[in-house]
Amino acid sequence: MAKGTKAAIRAVQQKGIKGLAWVSFGIAVVGGTLCPEMFIGRFIQGFLHLWPWEWIPPVLLAGMVVAVFVDVFIDLVPNQWAIWSALTTPTLAASVEAKLGDTVSGWCRSLLDLIDGWLAEWITDSGTGLAIGCIAAALIMARRVVKKSKAGGVA
């Protein structure tokens, strides 16, 4: 294969990997947004509320927001830190003891109820299943994208 052809194929693969990374990030945002009002989010919130310090959820929330921006800023591709941040940020925000926690929980509950209504009409009555599927898909895609991007020289 000619040198130019290999370079063209590698360029297309790198663009495809970037596209998959952004799709994975979008799926993680959906799964993470639905998570605070499910058993997974409630478990994490309960664990965070076991500690006697109320500052832990806001500090973790700030750290995850910074992690998203740093991860994306480095190479304009959301890698694993951005995916984990997208999955956990809504649950951490719902864990905050002030108005932020109540507001995020209310929004996530409304979104989950809305999706449950749509799914009941079209497929099934489980927004929880959709959320778990989104979380799993985002993690699997992120793992594959990071492996491919390291092999291709993107990351």
Q: How many CA atoms lie within 13 A of 85 on its CB side?
A: 19
Assess if residue 77 is contained within a domain: yes
Does any domain span residue 119?
Answer: yes
Residue 22 falls inside a structural domain:
no
pTM: 0.71
Structural domain count, the chain: 1
Q: How far apart are CA 18 and CA 15, in angstroms?
A: 5
Range of the domain at 141: 32-152
Instruction: Tell me, yes or no, whether 55 lies in a domain.
Output: yes
Does 2 reside within a domain?
no
What does the alpha-carbon distance between residue 37 and residue 80 come to, in Å, rounded to a whole number? 23
Dig out the tokens for 63 from the structure: 């750290």
Q: For the chain, what is the radius of gyration of the CA atoms?
A: 18
Distance CA(79)–CA(97), nearest Å, equals: 30
Looking at residue 125, its pLDDT comes to 57
The answer to whether position 43 is within a domain reads yes
Question: Is residue 21 in a domain?
Answer: no
Residue 76 scores a pLDDT above 60: yes
Q: What pLDDT, on a 0 to 100 scale, did the predictor assign at position 34?
A: 82
Q: What is the mean pLDDT of residues 21-31?
A: 84
Residues in contact with 64: Cβ distance below 8 Å, sequence separation at least 6, in sequence order: 84, 85, 88, 89, 92
Residue 25 forms part of a structural domain: no
pLDDT given for residue 120 in this prediction: 57
- pLDDT tens readout for residues 116-136: 776 655 555 566 777 777 888
- What's residue 124's pLDDT? 56
